[in-house]
Copies of this chain bind each other. A is one copy, B any other.
Amino acid sequence: MFNEKKKLGKAFKEPVYTFRGFEALPEDMEHLEDRFYGFVFQDSDFSKWIEAVAYSLVNHPDEKLEEIADGAIDIVCAAQLENGYLDTYYIINGMDKSFSNLKDHHELYCFGHLAEGAVAYYQATGKDKLLKAAMRFADYIDSVFGPEKEKSKGYPGHEIAEMALVRLYEATGEERYLELGRFFINERGRQPYYWDCETEGKKQEGERYQYHQAHRPVREQDEAVGHAVRAMYLYSGMADVARLTGDGTLLDSCKRLWNSTVWEKMYITGGVGGTSIGEAFSFPFDLPNDLAYAETCASIGLIFFARRMLEMEADSQYADVMEQALYNTVLSGMALDGKSFFYVNPLEVLPEACHLDERKQHVKPVRQKWFGCACCPPNLARLVSSIPSYAYTETEDSLYMHLHMAGIITKEIDGRTAVFQVQSQFPWSGKVTVTYAGEGPVRMKLAVRIPGWCRNWNVQGSERYCCSEEKGYYVMEGSWQPGDQLDLDFIMEPRFYQADDRVRENIGKIAALKGPVVYCAEEADNGKELHLIRLNPKADIKESKAQIGGKYFPVLNIDGYRKVCSPDAGNLYHEYREDQEKETEVKLIPYYAWANRGENEMMVWMRQGIPK
């Protein structure tokens, strides 16, 4: 065991502690001084990791890694109780308390991640040991919770079990998992609140369960509220269940919550969660740039939600947001060298404020090596390593290209294998070449998203298909022959954007984007006191390249003005005098590449003004 741990330790660094729980088998329990290590949800670190490993093995087979993973699975499965229960927090501390604090403890959350990881590992390797463990745990949970009179009417405090159960259902065909997921969704927010019964009627004060999206039944919710990651996971589960059960009212609720999220509460970077208090959504249009929470995991959750909406309705608005979240907040969550991480992704940073102002304690001016609550790094790993499943989706007769990433896509249709080869430089250029590379012809539809940021686009080679535009997709239907080639060009120009006027923080400001990529100014390029700079919104945006962290990145060069300061010694306030500004070229880099050159100021939304 020790060797296993050591090996895992190398692969996994700090999270090795996760295995202390799994290794503390019941028979060893009396010997344990310090019984359980870490957060109540510590087990989930393993599950997120195994899920990322699974995706990675698909793309990059690696015997050594697989061996480590199998060893880890052995440890985890050995900890499972006879009845299928598998959360070491309660296995170690006493099963009598199990499922007694659904609101704050994370048993069902740990189960959810376990199921997600198990399915992924099974699908990647064909090995079902962990899958069976997850099913046994699911069966146990199913024996505890459900609509039957004798069963508990509880539901998770931190959602994920809902979508995990759907995934388990889709992998195994066991309908009861879908039913259990649906049960959790249906029970959520019903009165009297289950959690109040759990605490023997002692009610929680304040906003009743908004933090947990359990303030009212999900079909009556129309505003994205509370802890942003929880919200995204719930909405994803709701979309899954709506899709598989054809539940129209649930779908309507998903749409309302989608609209609330992206029309009223999303940063231009695809970040969600305007406040650090509860890592939560703030009220509509309250999107402070410097106080933002915009957790990496929340944007990952938004991508989960978007893909599930796409699976129900191929509408490009969902893919637009997916792309926006991916190339900005999600990638910003990790350093260019992949070795440090952001939990919080603000749109404006003054390092001094992060150090000196407790209100900005959650904002780090540089990425961190690891976190006590390390949700973001493994979440990033599992998203990035499974990105093909977001880039493309399929229906029976259609293949949807959402993100235009380079790769080879296959689709089984009418007993044949359609193969498309995609060449592209997304997100840096809008040129995409799609070549049909199947062995024989197939009749099917290829639907290519027309990005929301794209004003003009053209396609060559689609003449031979029956073409139409449907909800933001260019749909080509016909017989695809080996060698068929499409040359798509989604003209990608850098442009300035404004926020809705109700976003007070951004009044009088603009941000620069090229395609889906948000740009920002960094002190490293533009000096300190970025707030003194104004951009000329009518200026040509020039493009060039610059090295950041050893890699070349596109940069934007924009004519701007920097206020010339003339402080009055000893006077914090002075009579108005017309601003003196000097011309300056402002250099903007892709937002996600910021903070790779040490601690420095950063700003996405900048003051604008047309020169006199």
Contacts and interface: CB of A to CB of B under 8 A. Distances in A.
A361 to B, nearest CB: 9
A495 B574 CA distance: 10
Interface string A502-532: 1110011011000000000000000001011
Nearest to A277: B358
A571 B321 CA distance: 11
Contacts of A502: 529, 565, 567
| Number of copies of this kind of chain in the complex | 2
A452 B383 CA distance: 61
Contact of A356 (B268, B282, B356, B571): B282
B497 A607 contact: no
Nearest to A282: B357
A249 interface: no
Given A359-B277, A500-B572, A573-B500, A353 B286 contact: yes
A575 interface: yes
Interface in A591-612: 607-610, 612
A514 to B, nearest CB: 12
A268 B573 contact: yes
B359 A572 contact: no
Contact of A497 (B350, B353, B574): B574
Interface in A461-506: 495-504
Interface in A344-359: 350, 352-353, 356-359
Nearest to A355: B283
A115 interface: no
Contacts of A576: 495-498, 510, 537, 608
Interface stretch (A67-75, A124-132, A228-236, A256-264): A256-264
A577 to B, nearest CB: 7
Which of the listed residues A352, A576, A577 has the most CB atoms from chain B within 10 Å of its own CB?
A: A576
A317 B572 CA distance: 12
A283 B357 CA distance: 7
Contact of A612 (B277, B500, B612): B612
A248 interface: no
Q: What band does the interface of chain A fall in when counting residues whose beta carbon is under 8 Å from B? A: 35 or more
Contact of A498 (B353, B501, B577): B577
A356 B495 CA distance: 34
Contact of A572 (B264, B353, B532, B567): B264
Max count, chain B CB within 10 A of own CB: residue among A286, A570, A612 = A286
Given A495-B575, A570-B259, A610-B578, A563 B507 contact: yes
A92 interface: no
A282 B567 CA distance: 20
Contacts of A537: 576, 578
A353 B259 CA distance: 21
Contacts of A259: 570
A353 B283 contact: yes
A291 interface: yes
A266 interface: yes
A604 to B, nearest CB: 11
A610 to B, nearest CB: 7
A577 B498 CA distance: 8
Given A501-B532, A502-B567, A356 B573 contact: no
A359 B291 contact: yes
A357 B570 CA distance: 35
Nearest to A455: B575
A507 B277 CA distance: 27
B504 A350 contact: yes
A80 interface: no
A581 B113 CA distance: 52
A435 interface: no
Contacts of A286: 353, 356-357
Nearest to A262: B572
A350 B285 CA distance: 12
Contacts of A567: 500-502
A275 interface: yes
A291 B576 CA distance: 24
A501 B572 contact: no
Contacts of A610: 578, 612
Among A264, A356, A503, A572, the most chain B Cβ lie within 10 Å of the Cβ of: A572
Given A532-B507, A612-B612, A498 B282 contact: no
Contacts of A503: 572
A568 B609 CA distance: 22
Interface in A309-352: 317, 350, 352
A481 to B, nearest CB: 39
Interface in A230-280: 259, 262-264, 266, 268, 275, 277-278
Contacts of A575: 495-498
A529 B501 contact: yes
A198 B500 CA distance: 55
Given A359-B359, A500-B568, A578-B610, 20 more contacts: A262-B572, A263-B571, A264-B572, A266-B572, A277-B359, A278-B358, A282-B357, A283-B353, A317-B570, A350-B504, A497-B574, A497-B575, A498-B577, A500-B567, A500-B573, A500-B574, A501-B532, A502-B565, A504-B531, A609-B609
28 contacts: A259-B570, A262-B572, A263-B570, A263-B571, A266-B572, A268-B572, A268-B573, A275-B357, A277-B358, A277-B359, A283-B353, A283-B357, A291-B359, A495-B575, A495-B576, A496-B576, A497-B575, A499-B573, A500-B568, A500-B571, A500-B574, A501-B565, A503-B572, A507-B532, A537-B576, A537-B578, A609-B609, A610-B612
Top 10 A-B residue pairs of the complex, sorted by shortest distance between their CB atoms: A496-B576, A283-B356, A277-B358, A501-B565, A504-B531, A507-B531, A497-B573, A537-B576, A268-B573, A500-B572
